[in-house]
A and B are shown apart, each in its own frame.
Chain A
Amino acid sequence: MNQLSTPALTQEQMLPSQQPVRLIDESGTAAVGRTYKENYPLPAEQTLLRGYAQLVTGRRINDQASALVRQGRMAVYPSSHGQEACQVAAAMCLADGDWLFPTYRDTVAVMARGVDPVQVMELLRGSWHSGYDPYEHNVATQSTPLATQLLHAVGVAHAAKLKGQDTVVVALCGDGASSEGDFHEALNFAAVFHVPVVFFVQNNEYAISVPLSQQSVAPSLAHKAIGYGMPGERVDGNDLAALLAVLGNAVQRARSGGGPSLVEAHTYRMQSHTNADDASRYRTADEVSAWEPRDPLLRLRTYLLGANLLTEADEGRIAAEAESVAKVLRDGLNADVSVDPQDLFRFVYSEPTPQLLEQAQLLGEELSREGATS
């Protein structure tokens, strides 16, 4: 009823631009003179410089985490190598009170938001299902059941709207997740209730082995937006400048009461789905190497160097920052983590049920017997 009080958008406002929005092209040149449906100015120099530093850190986190898996310090790591611009932009477009709803692949975005790196890795090192307090940085737990978190994002935004909070929620998912029912339900609910959510799809062309062509034959994933009555936009997912502009615009729309929108970033998963996957079984080396020149770090670095915005000293400082995060990860994950078996029973209910107390006692006795004999 009253949800429909906002004026309907025109088709033009809802359909994405013909081409993904791009502000810096693959040669590192600012792409001027293009027309998109909105005016997307190049972000400020300092913002780009800050973003570049985050990209370098993000790449370093991906490399370090992959190494830690090889060394047996982590169970698994779904790398966002190649998608770092999306990761960094998702964190940078938010204000402090805003919320981020990440997936298993969005570790870099979670860390870019300020969450403690070692706590983030509790999931992937296998010491608990999630290691950080979602309320500390307004970052939800990394979601594994595909697209389910999008509905939680809608709920947080709906509550924020009812409470009059000035909160925007950015919800992440992949191209494959866009086929799930919860993706549809979340976008529809968000549009009907007109809540401040930005759905940000990282289209990296694959869902494990399945290419996008087998997920959807829509003109683009961003075209789905019009079906829900919200604006959709497509953006070059390896262009941090364009991502910041497009996501910034969407966040601004949400914050000013303009409702939800859908942003699709065109990017590429440069590595296997996780360390346990073998991407060579379903895609060619040529296909992968064609994406190498489109690397998000390379592109922004070339631009910044060309514009005299990045000095050698800056690069040294940025590399050192990235290395210090990698060291935090190495030190944290190389230290053996202590797990408390009684934690198994502590949090299932606000107070353990009589049955759980019995089971906790059973395990406690087992462990003390083991302790006595060893």
Chain B
Amino acid sequence: MTAISARPTAADPSVQTPPATAESPAAATAGPAAGKQQSLTFAKALTLAMADSMAADDAVVVFGEDVGVLGGVFRITEGLNKRFGQERCFDTPLAESGIVGMAVGMAMNGMKPVVEMQFDAFAYPAFEQVVSHVAKMANRTKGKVRLPMVIRIPYAGGIGGVEHHCDSSEAYYVHTPGLTVLAPSTAVDAYLMLRDAIRSPDPVVFLEPKKLYFAKEDVDIDALRAAYESTAQATSIGRAVIAREGTDATLIAYGPSVPTALAAAEAAAAEGRSLQVIDVRSLVPFDDETVCAAVRRTGRAVVIAEAPGFASVAAEIVARVQERCFHSLAAPVRRVTGFDIPYPAPKLEQHYLPGVDRILDVVDELQWEDQ
């Protein structure tokens, strides 16, 4: 693991931009000098990542439900069928275990499948394939059969979706050794991380926060692509980033909770409190180094995630930080998560989702009086 690389966000242009290096391709997209900026949604960044990966490598194939002519229910695969043809981007029968199981076999025979699960909760029929084969094949064969495949899952809530369309299912996957689990929160990362996922020799579960699909950033696409292509290895897998600098406490978030954390930090700044925001991005492998170095500097931390908190990724992060940073902590590490209930119906979801106020309330409880 190397040094923390800060990166620009549309929401916070004040963030310091590091120089563009091979280590941090995201940096190449920043700054007005970098070239022509254009507005890119998170969704289109994913499409672009797949298209560029398919253009670069014939072995990359995309399939799933409605991903062909329609371009997917969220249009993430839009245009791929037309551009690359029916053999490279195609619809399958409606069966998630079939999709993932077939991807396993295709990966065994030299392809790099990128499959789409239509929604978080509709990936569950594929669970046996994911846990018993996708995750275990390399270990079972002592590395002789590796499965370079990506399972893309539109996930989490905040979109007013009805039951089965808003689950935060990350804990199931991160608890399964053998899977790499990624959750980007920006358009730039959506591009970089999906490309990293596709070129990874290991299977990746790629969690796409649905509520961010249409979030926009100004990006120099040519520079982004060029920066990515100049790196031989994944720069995002296993690396957390600092999404916002701050000195008083650290908010640790990933995926859909990152913009919420940034908004909380913005609100806190107005009240005179400087909150740092870490975007974990890579749930597995987890970047203990970056996260812990950040918490040691501020001495206080709150972990934010949409999933129910019990036995969750947030719980794991709290435990890791507490174990590693105990002597630097001024207060117990806290969590702001979803409640331990099934994901609520649309009219109730605002009570469930971690929001700015709930985060700031917990920040207020971080034993400031002892300072």
Contact = CB atoms under 8 A, between A and B. Distances in A.
Interface of A: 1-2, 128-130, 133-135, 140-141, 145, 148, 150-160, 162-163, 165, 181-182, 184-186, 188-189, 192, 343, 346-350, 353-355
B136 interface: yes
Interface size grouping (class) on chain B: 35 or more
Given A343-B142, A346-B143, A154 B111 contact: no
Given A156-B109, A159-B106, A188-B93, A354 B288 contact: yes
Contacts of B270: none
9 contacts: A141-B140, A141-B141, A155-B106, A155-B113, A159-B110, A182-B128, A188-B98, A350-B146, A350-B200
B285 A353 contact: yes
B291 to A, nearest CB: 12
Contact of B97 (A158, A159, A185, A349): A185
Nearest to A159: B109
A129 B129 contact: no
Contact of B178 (A134, A188, A348, A354): A348
B13 interface: no
Given A148-B128, A159-B110, A350 B202 contact: yes
Contacts of B129: 148, 151, 182
Nearest to A1: B86
B201 interface: yes
Contacts of B201: 350
B176 to A, nearest CB: 11
Contact of B142 (A135, A181, A347): A347
B87 A153 contact: no
A227 to B, nearest CB: 13
Nearest to A153: B105
B294 to A, nearest CB: 16
A116 to B, nearest CB: 14
Interface class of chain A by DSSP: helix
B141 A188 contact: no
A155 B104 contact: yes
Contacts of B91: 1
Given A151-B101, A155-B105, 8 more contacts: A150-B101, A151-B97, A155-B107, A182-B101, A349-B180, A350-B143, A354-B285, A355-B285
B144 interface: yes
A145 B128 contact: yes
Enumerate the 8 nearest inter-chain pairs by beta-carbon distance, A residue then B residue, closest first.
Answer: A155-B105, A151-B101, A185-B98, A159-B109, A353-B285, A152-B105, A155-B102, A155-B106
B342 interface: no
A154 B102 contact: yes
Interface string B128-139: 110011001111
Nearest to A358: B288
B215 interface: no
B238 interface: yes
B133 A152 contact: yes
B109 A155 contact: yes
B253 interface: no
Contacts of B106: 155-156, 158-159
Most buried by B among A128, A155, A346: A155
Nearest to B1: A354
Contacts of B86: 1-2
Given A152-B133, A348-B177, A354-B289, A162 B108 contact: no
A349 B129 CA distance: 17
B284 interface: yes
B87 A162 contact: yes
A135 B102 contact: no
B363 interface: no
Contact of B141 (A130, A153, A189, A350): A130
Nearest to B81: A1
A151 B98 contact: yes
A159 B142 contact: no
Interface string B310-328: 0000000000000000000
B35 interface: no
B16 interface: no
Contacts of B113: 155
Contact of A189 (B93, B139, B288): B93
Given A155-B101, A354-B238, A181 B286 contact: no
